[in-house]
Structure 1
Amino acid sequence: MSNNYFQLFGLPVEFEIARSRLISNYRELQKQLHPDKFAAASDAERRWSMQAASHVNEGYQTLDNDLRRAVYLLQLNDISVDEETDTHMAPEFLMQQMELRESLEVVQSAEDPSSGLKKIKSEINISVKEQASQFALSASESDWVKARNTVRQWQFLDKLLREIKMLEERLDA
């Protein structure tokens, strides 16, 4: 079984993937590794099938998520993306992040925070789509430095979206 998730699912090693092919190949691999098929197998074979199924699940989750797939592509090209230590960002992007965070704080104390959150979320989702497009272009040109910088910005946006989701859940409670 291939360690490379793209090879595992029979996909070309590129950012843009055929999701329908990913899903159908995932289901086929799940069938092949189903525990019922290994019920009468030795302990070693059952252990292998569990590890293989886990590998397939992790691969699917990685390739099915655009940001995780982008990070994985960088890793395949020996490019590290460490959110904790890699904090260098373009000043314009940092300003945008500060403005978005300030908007989030203002919205939280507004009379109707839900509509403000939706507006900010929509703005961030547009930026995420731009980052995905930029990453796809950079990766297709093998410009891994630019692709890495794009992913770092994308990770910041993704973190903001997760924070907004938590805020929405708190407001709904």
Structure 2
Amino acid sequence: MQALCKAGLRCLSWGVRNVTPSFSSRLPYLKMVPTMSSAATVALKSTGGLGSALLGSDAPDCPIKPGTVLGGRPRRGLCATPGNRSCWSCGAALGATPVFFCPDCEVVQSPDDRSTYFDIMDCDKSFSVDIRKLQRRYIHLQRSLHPDNFSQKSQREQEYSETQTALINKAYRTLQKPLSRGLYMLELGGVRLEEETGSVADQHHLLEVMELNERLAKTQNIEEANDIGLSVRGKLENLTEQVNTSFRKGDLQSAKVLLAQMKYFVNVEEKVEQ
């Protein structure tokens, strides 16, 4: 019993040192117990007179959580998960997912560097993207974060809204098109497509692209240009399906080769549209 009492005294004395004197001196007994566990509380109370004298006869029997003020609100942020961000204005925890506004004070936040474009646009990390859902998400975010909505706010809020809007635009443009989406997924996987993609794309497709470019350069007929464009779009659709299959299998090298081919055909398609 004496050893248990000493253990309780050491625990309590540690707690007293962590309470400001001005605060603790005004209370009949300690109302803030920063580190005392429920086991220590029971240990002190079980010692009889000494424990009752230290804690008070009306001390609660329920476990006391660290940092809790009895009869009051817990101190904010004590249970925040490591790595999670907090609001720059009020300090509230923002959580692990991309948060554009503080859930407490509703102030716009800075972009989260840990978020991918898929996170920002609320999409599954997949090459197969629901384009309509992507568009709805884009419109919703643009309406919420447009800089015009913050013209009367602080300079910091205006800057954050502009930064968020630019990031949303980039995320949307990247995920909207199969080629840019695929290249971004390669980048997330640590694979980059070199500027000179000739060594990656097979010679058959390179020759085919060269012939299409020559035909397009010589033609002065709109119908023939449209036929070339139709042929290119068909090839791009086929390549898109193959890329999707490669990503589903986790074969990034195969996806890299196919995206290199896709890049050449996209260049031809852009020339047709011009």
Fold agreement, TM-score > 0.5: yes
Question: 2:234 — aligned with what?
Answer: 126
The structure that has the greater radius of gyration is 2
Question: 2:182 — aligned with what?
Answer: 70
Relative contact order (alpha carbons < 8 A, sep ≥ 6): 1 or 2 greater? Answer: 1
CA deviations over 1:90-118 (Å, ceiling 9, x no partner): 1211221232233224424xxxx112111
CA distance in 2, matches of 1:31, 1:97: 41
Q: Percent identity?
A: 24
- Equivalent position SS for 1:56: helix
Higher mean C-alpha displacement, 156-165 vs 127-136: 156-165
- Measured at CA, do residues 103 and 36 of structure 1 come closer, stay the same or move farther in structure 2, by a change above 3 Å? closer
Question: 1:145 — aligned with what?
Answer: 253
CA deviations over 1:102-157 (Å, ceiling 9, x no partner): 3224424xxxx112111111111110101111110111111101101111111100
CA distance in 2, matches of 1:131, 1:123: 13
1:36: Cα distance to partner?
3.7
Question: 1:42 — aligned with what?
Answer: 154
1:165 and 2:273 correspond? yes
On the 8 A contact 2:198/2:206 being kept in 1, the answer is no
CA distance in 1, matches of 2:146, 2:204: 50
1:79 and 2:191 correspond? yes
CA distance in 2, matches of 1:58, 1:29: 13
- Measured at CA, do residues 85 and 102 of structure 1 come closer, stay the same or move farther in structure 2, by a change above 3 Å? closer
CA distance in 2, matches of 1:27, 1:103: 40
1:78: Cα distance to partner?
1.2
Q: Where is the helix percentage greater, Structure 1 or Structure 2?
A: 1
CA distance in 2, matches of 1:28, 1:105: 42
Question: 2:81 — aligned with what?
Answer: none
CA distance in 1, matches of 2:159, 2:217: 49
Which sections of structure 2, spanning at least 5 residues, go unmatched? 1-97, 99-111
CA distance in 2, matches of 1:86, 1:96: 15
1:39: Cα distance to partner?
2.3
Question: 1:16 — aligned with what?
Answer: 128
Q: Over aligned residues, Cα RMSD in angstroms? A: 1.6
Letter in 1 for 2:183: V
1:46: Cα distance to partner?
0.7
CA distance in 2, matches of 1:58, 1:13: 16
- Measured at CA, do residues 150 and 40 of structure 1 come closer, stay the same or move farther in structure 2, by a change above 3 Å? same
